[in-house]
A = this chain, B = another copy of it.
Amino acid sequence: MKKIDILNKLRSSGLRPTKQRVEIAKFLFEREKTFHFTVESLNKLLTKKSTSKIALATIYNTVHAFKTAGHLNEVEVRGNKTYFDTNVSNHHHFYDSETSELIDIDANDIIIQKIPKAPNGKKIKNVEVFINLKN
Is A1 in contact with chain B by the CB < 8 A criterion?
A: no
Is the pair A113, B116 in contact by a Cβ cutoff of 8 Å? no
The proximity string for A residues 91-135 relative to B, scoring 1 for CB distances below 8 Å and 0 otherwise, is 000101000000101000111111110110111111111111111
Could you tell me how many residues of chain A have their Cβ less than 8 Å away from some Cβ of chain B?
33
Residue in B closest to A129 when the chains form the complex, CB atoms: B129
A90 shortest CB reach to chain B, Å: 11
Is the pair B121, A114 in contact by a Cβ cutoff of 8 Å? no
Q: CA of A77 to CA of B129 in the docked complex: distance in angstroms?
A: 13
Seen from chain A, the residues whose Cβ lies within 8 Å of a Cβ on chain B are: 74, 76-78, 94, 96, 103, 105, 109-116, 118-119, 121-135
